[in-house]
Structure 1
Amino acid sequence: MKHLSKLAFAHRKVVLLLVVTSLFIGASIIGQAYFFVAVVDRVFLKGQSFQSIIPLLVGLILVLAGRSFFTWANGRLGVRMAARAKSYFRNAVIQKFSRNPLQVSLSGQSGRKVSVLMDAVDEVDGYFSSYIPQMIQTAIIPFMILIVVFTQHLYSGLIMVITAPFIPFFMALIGIMTKKKSEEQMEKLSAFSGTFLDTLQGLTTLKLFGRSKRQKDEIEKSSLGFRDATMGVLKVAFVSSLMLEFISMLSIGLIALEIAIRLVVYESIAFFPAFFILVLAPEFYLTLKDFGSAFHTGRGSTGAANQLMEELDKEEKGVTWGEKKLDVYALPPRLELQNVSFRYDGGFALQGIQAEIPPQSQTAIVGRSGAGKSTLLNVIAGLIQPNEGEIQLNHHALSSYS
């Protein structure tokens, strides 16, 4: 998550605009509550005429319009930041793959790489479009509301201060589970994508050798694994929403009970501040609750981000070439393979290949499917470096030629 955070706050202009729009949203929430309570107080308690509250109604409409506009602007800024971040990650992955395409194609399933380029990049969207804007709002709006509540009634403000930390506490607990589940889901999606694409690419060969039934079972197994992982993430999301709703409801109930006792029994608070606090309290907890949902989304994005960073941080094994020139007008070169070995990451290996191919000879490489014929040709062509041994052209190392 540190890399995502660093990338997000690198867009300083967007972050500054998010802060400004959050301030205006907080001000419009307080203004909306004030105008609404003022209208109710003057009409139902003071019995004023409709004409006398027209300025208040106009103010209420303007505040509602302003809140809608700034909320929309805040969302648009988040979407713009997400688009830039996805473009950055997608270009970085494409550049990494294009620098040495053959090496990339040899290391792992091509379908898994497509999944990283498409699905993992798209999964990062929620961190920038939802989590960052909501985090900035949560850092500003609840404090603005809290300041106003303290000016109206001390004990209601204290209840808010005491109950508010319970939401981040449960949010952190559930976030740990969410991160693990989302990483598992992304891994299952990559495995499913890799298996499905590789099966499509080799469908003709599979049918030719009568292995299509086995691959069908493999696809079904990968699909069911991804389904179960997705259901696990949704289960955690539902539990998270339930707990946040429960804590918010209980906290608002405590504030309403305390105000009702002071208003009705002790008559120590007037109707206007009491109603004003009751209108602001749900907004206070709504912001915290929305941050809990956004935090769940942000933690889900970290699984995809880890997958992206793992791909981008992989060591690139480039092919080295020298300065020696090969005379193209002379006889074809003499080719020698001296104890050449090549191993895929955790997979198939060519070991101890010894061969000598004289000029103007005809040589065939024969073997069953998957024996390594294409791999050997790639090694001879110099497209991939052998792990051991050496290939020589006219008694000089292949890597010494340009």
Structure 2
Amino acid sequence: MLLRQYQQITLNKLLAILFNILSIISFVYFVILLMELINLLIQEASVSYSMILYIAVLLSGRYIFQEASQLMMSVEATRVTNKWSNIIINSIPLVDRLEAGELQHQLTFVLDKTKQYVTNYQFTAILSVMTLIIMFGVTLYYHWVAAIILIVTSPFIPLLYIVVGMKTQDDAKTQMNELNKFQFTLMNTLRSMDDVVNLNLQQHVVNRLKSYNSKYANASMKLLKTVFVSGFMLDFITMISIGLVALELGFELVVFKTIEFESAFIVMMVVPEFYLALKNLSQSFHAKKESMGQIELLDHTFDQLIIDRKNSRYIDIVVNGEKLSGTNNFSDSNLHKGIAVNLEAHDIKLEGKSIHYPKVELEFSQFNVIIGRNGVGKSLYLQLLNDSIKFYQSQSVSYLPQHSYIFEGTFKENIGNKSYDECAHYIKMLKLDPICERFGYHDGLIDPSIISHGEQKRINILRVLMDNKPFVLFDEPLAGLNIELKQSVLKCLLKLITDQNKCVVMVTHELSLVKQRVKPLNVIDFDQLEVHHDE
């Protein structure tokens, strides 16, 4: 899914190729004019200022076009990684096997590798091939023997990197797997620190973290060792190849005197550029294999999530007597107060237990609250409801899971790129003004590690509030907040019902507080659910 983001032809790619062509042409003409200048100096002839100016312009133009091409590569890399970021962020509420925090750590690690893939492979491969063709053509034109040496020696460089690159991809996968294990264990430990201390499991957890850290360090060192050895071998082969060309030209020029100095000079200026392009092409393949090892793991994760989602069972949803499907048009435009939503009875087997969910009736413009004892399946039902609505109508539901986290980005990006004016009222109601003042709304990056879980939760509540979907699902949004913030959250949810006619469904353990603040109220009690444990 994610890898297909690279298949489009964009203006940035075309501009990068164009600038690189101009850079190569500038270099070729620079070498030719430089040779003419040297000839004039040897013959003690007069040199015009215009020639010196042309040489300076061509040399400057080459580096300007190179930098412009690199800039276009970076812009394209940013565009693609931002697109990936949005895909991943929007997919986080669908995750049932992975914690959102773990997935975001993968995102941070993989996006860094993705930029390498875009800048060091896609563009570099195209641009290096163009450089190779032009430089080989110039060499062949001036001295065919040197061109033959290029043909004979050049295959060794990409062959080396193809062999090394295949190994690098496997090593990179191993590295990321070990990193994921370490991050997942560390995050779970931090979230359940009290339980770890109460059960006296500190040493056990420390040993596990040390083990995963050691495995990750070993995998990283193995990858670095491969990169170092391959880089050394590449430089050695390149040096030997250029030396052979120089030796052959020396014999032709000094001993046999079968080549002009001008031709030898131009060939010796062009040949290193040929091998540099070949080296860049080989290194880009190496970077590709390292990046692909990381990217394929994340891509597989998302593909598997989609497969799991399609293969799971969904709750049948009936809206005003019509079963919800992918064909009927269900949106804000055809909703009205009191519209009935019936969720059919549903059975599910999960982790050694079977749960029978009864038929549930919901209403728009009414606060729907799911209550029940711990472990009865309230959160699971809300997740099933979210997945079911998304399966039938992907753009009709917003869902805030119990464990939700923010990513390192601007405040605006964390709430779906809404303008400040759109959400200013909710920002004040949720007491998020200090966060906006501290980090800024449009520009400053929020560091998730230095803001509290309650602040992260309120930012995510704001994101769901601003999503503007008919169904809005919250899993314990009041947990971990003080009484003042709980009341503020309830006011925001009530505003969704009264002002925007939404169907709000919330799982909570604080029914007494909700009853005091919210009316009308539809209570769905799961305390009497039939839960059977498999033997």
Q: Normalising by the residue count of structure 1, what TM-score does the alignment of the two structures yield? A: 0.79
2:378 & 2:530 partners in 1: Cα distance? 16
Quick one: distance in 2 between partners of 1:318 and 1:30?
Answer: 65
2:355–2:530 contact (8 Å) kept in structure 1:
no
1:14-61 CA-to-partner distances (Å, cap 9, x unmatched) read: 222222112112112212322333333332x32334xx1533322221
**Residue 376 of structure 2 contacts residue 529 of structure 2 at CA under 8 Å; is this kept in 1?**
no
Question: Which whole-Å deviations, capped at 9, do the CAs of 1:148-202 have from their partners, x for residues lacking one?
Answer: 1111111111111222222111111111011111111111121121111111111
Structure 2 unmatched ranges of 5 or more: 321-344, 359-370, 386-524
Which of 342, 358, 363 aligns to 2:350? It is 342
Partner of 2:237: 247
User: Which residue does the alignment assign to 1:63?
Assistant: 58
Q: Residue 317 of structure 2 aligns to a residue in which SS?
A: coil
User: Aligned partner of 1:224: which letter?
Assistant: S
Q: Which residue of 2 aligns with 1:41?
A: 39
In the TM superposition, residue 318 of structure 1 has moved relative to its aligned partner by 6.8
Q: Superposition pairs for residues 243-322 of structure 1, below 5 Å? A: 243-313=233-303, 314=305, 315=307, 316=309, 317=312, 319-322=314-317
**1:59-82 Cα shifts (integer Å, max 9, x gaps):** 221112111111111111111111
Does the 8 A contact of 1:22 with 1:136 survive in 2?
A: no
Runs of 4+ in 1 over 4 A off after TM superposition: 352-356, 395-398
Q: Does 1:203 align with 2:203?
A: no
Task: Please say if residues 2 and 84 of structure 2, whose CA atoms lie closer than 8 Å, have aligned partners that are also in contact.
Answer: no
CA contact (8 A) 1:189 1:226 kept: yes
- 1:171 matched residue in structure 2: 161
Aligned to 2:137: 147
Q: Distance in 2 between matches of 1:382 and 1:47?
A: 88
Query: In 2, Cα distance between the equivalents of 1:160 and 1:82?
Result: 33
Q: CA deviation at 1:303?
A: 1.5
Name the counterpart of 1:346.
Answer: none
Q: TM-score, normalization: structure 2?
A: 0.60
Aligned partner of 2:318 in structure 1 is: 323
CA distance in 2, matches of 1:65, 1:319: 64
Q: Return the structure number with greater helix share.
A: 1
Partner amino acid, structure 2, of 1:374? G
Distance 1:34 1:184 in 2: 50
Matched residue type, 1:151: Y
Compute the displacement of 1:302 (Å). Answer: 0.4
Is the 1:166–1:247 contact (alpha carbons within 8 Å) kept by the matching residues of 2?
yes
| Distance 1:54-1:351 versus aligned 2 partners, 3 A rule | same
Give yes or no for contact 1:188–1:225 (8 Å, CA) kept in 2.
Answer: yes
Q: Which amino acid aligns with 1:46?
A: Q
Task: Within 5 Å, give how 1:314-393 maps onto structure 2.
Answer: 314=305, 315=307, 316=309, 317=312, 319-323=314-318, 341-343=349-351, 350-351=352-353, 373-374=374-375, 376-379=377-380, 381=381, 383-384=383-384
**1:323 CA displacement:** 2.5
Q: Distance in 2 between matches of 1:171 and 1:79?
A: 24
Identity of aligned residues (%): 22
SS of the residue 1:269 aligns to: coil
* Cα offset, 1:128, TM superposition: 0.7
Q: Which moved more, 1:224-233 or 1:28-37?
A: 28-37
* Residue number among 76, 79, 88 corresponding to 1:81 in the alignment: 76
Deviations 1:84-128 (A, max 9, x none): 111121111222223x3xxx2x41354431222221223211111
Task: Decide whether aligned partners of structure 1 residues 231 and 88 sit closer, same or farther in structure 2, where only a CA change above 3 A counts.
Answer: same
Structure 1 residues 158 and 354: alpha-carbon distance in aligned structure 2, compared to 1, 3 A threshold: closer
Q: What is the DSSP-based 3-state SS (H/G/I as helix, E as strand, rest coil) of the residue aligned with 1:210?
A: coil
